[in-house]
């Protein structure tokens, strides 16, 4: 789910729960007091009112204006829980807390729809895990630039914590064997986790290749795009020669000699004919036949 989808979903759910204006004109809806702005209610008062509203929500018929009013008011009264839970992810939000609050609101709505007073637990204790779970799911599904397995996502977090601990203890960056020994994993698993962590964020190719120039607005140094490798035009030739080598070994001695003289020593067909005691036309037919044999061997599908 993207942040835009989360925002729209949360807005649609809250909007659908609003009662009709004529229903709100009465001082009471479905046996519940009319609250003009539920978002301004203090958290201590919201806890008491939430019990009242949950009690009525369970007996009201779903889809009626009274049921919609009770559900919507519960959402607005408990938005402080979303802001509290979202605050724990402030450092990971990249400066945009609005998306996190919107995602957390979806978790709050799920908690309200599933809460029952018979559980004999405070709604806050029941709702916070739903809210934080929704936010964590959002980070897991949307913040990685490259999708990696859940196991490696979790390993990245453990690696970061272990690195931070060992840097303090060793006063230097820990090595892969040290990380493996500390975490009880193999060196291959640690290496896999470090490589996977590179997929968490994608950098721009216009960033300076030298980290010391990253903070300069008009750095004249080379960017990553400048040092990025391109296709090597000679690579195809290397691949062709690799395939051609065993095919040349299948030729007889005379055919290999002709190929060597024509393409290795760059002799003309007339010189080859004189060397072998045959005509230039015969040399041309032999070369054409040998090349057809080599080409057919190179294009055979395995």
**Per-residue pLDDT tens digits for 224-260:** 677 777 777 777 888 878 888 888 888 888 898 998 8
- Yes or no: domain 150-209 corresponds to CATH 3.30.465.10: no
- Residue 4's pLDDT band, with cuts at 50, 70 and 90, is very low
Are the CB atoms for 238 and 255 separated by under 8 Å?
no
How many whole angstroms separate alpha carbon 40 and alpha carbon 79? 10
Estimate to the nearest angstrom the gap between the alpha carbon of 203 and the chain centroid.
13
E strand or H helix at 32: strand 32-33
Are the CB atoms for 140 and 148 separated by under 8 Å?
no
Q: Which residues pair with 32 in a beta bridge?
A: 29
Q: Percentage of residues in the chain with pLDDT exceeding 70?
A: 77
User: Using one digit for the tens of pLDDT, what is the confidence trace for 58-116?
Assistant: 888 888 898 999 999 999 999 989 998 888 887 665 556 788 899 999 999 999 999 98
pTM for this structure? Answer: 0.46
- Give the pLDDT of residue 203: 65
How many whole angstroms separate alpha carbon 270 and alpha carbon 290? 17
List C-alpha distances in Å: 288 to 198, 262, 296.
52, 12, 12
Is 235-298 the same fold as 150-209?
Answer: yes
Q: Percentage of residues in the chain with pLDDT exceeding 90?
A: 19
How many whole angstroms separate alpha carbon 1 and alpha carbon 13? 16
Domain ranges of the chain: 3-142, 150-209, 235-298
**Cα-Cα end-to-end distance for the chain:** 43
For the CA atoms of the chain, what is the radius of gyration?
Answer: 36
**235-298: CATH class:** mainly alpha
Estimate to the nearest angstrom the gap between the alpha carbon of 267 and the chain centroid.
58
- Give exposure, 276-295, as e/b (b: 16+ Cβ within 10 Å): eeeeeeebeebbeebeeebe
- Residue 268's pLDDT band, with cuts at 50, 70 and 90, is very high
Q: Cite the DSSP H helix spans in 171-206.
A: 176-183, 187-197
DSSP 50: H
Q: Which residues contact 146 (CB under 8 A, 6 or more apart)?
A: 199, 202
Question: Is residue 266 predicted with pLDDT exceeding 80?
Answer: yes
């Amino acid at each position: 789910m993207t942040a835009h989808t989360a925002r729209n979903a949360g807005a649609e759910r809250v909007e659908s729960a609003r009662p009709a204006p004529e229903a709100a004109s009465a001082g009471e809806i479905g046996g519940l007091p009319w609250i003009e702005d539920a978002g301004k209610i203090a958290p201590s008062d919201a806890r008491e009112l939430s019990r009242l509203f949950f009690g009525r929500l369970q007996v009201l018929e779903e889809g009626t204006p009274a049921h919609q009013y009770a559900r919507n008011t519960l959402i607005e009264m408990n938005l402080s829980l979303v802001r509290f839970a979202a605050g724990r992810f402030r450092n990971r939000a990249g400066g945009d807390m609005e998306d996190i609050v919107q995602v957390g609101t979806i978790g709050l709505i799920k908690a309200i729809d599933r809460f029952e007073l018979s559980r004999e637990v405070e709604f806050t204790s029941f709702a916070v895990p739903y809210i934080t779970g929704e936010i964590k799911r959002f980070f897991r599904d949307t913040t990685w630039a490259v999708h990696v397995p859940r196991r490696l996502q979790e390993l990245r977090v453990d690696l970061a914590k272990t690195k931070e601990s060992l840097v303090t203890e060793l006063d230097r960056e820990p090595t892969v064997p040290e990380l493996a020994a500390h975490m009880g994993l193999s060196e291959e698993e640690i290496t896999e986790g470090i490589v996977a962590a590179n997929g968490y964020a994608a950098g721009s190719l216009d960033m300076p290749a030298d980290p010391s120039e990253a903070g300069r607005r008009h750095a004249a140094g080379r960017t990553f795009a400048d040092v990025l490798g391109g296709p090597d035009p000679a690579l195809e030739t290397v691949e062709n020669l690799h395939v051609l080598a065993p095919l040349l070994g299948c030729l007889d001695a005379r055919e290999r000699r002709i190929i060597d003289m024509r393409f290795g020593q760059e002799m003309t067909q007339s010189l080859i004919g004189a060397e072998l005691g045959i005509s230039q036309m015969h040399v041309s037919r032999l070369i054409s036949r040998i090349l057809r044999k080599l080409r057919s061997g190179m294009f055979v599908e395995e």
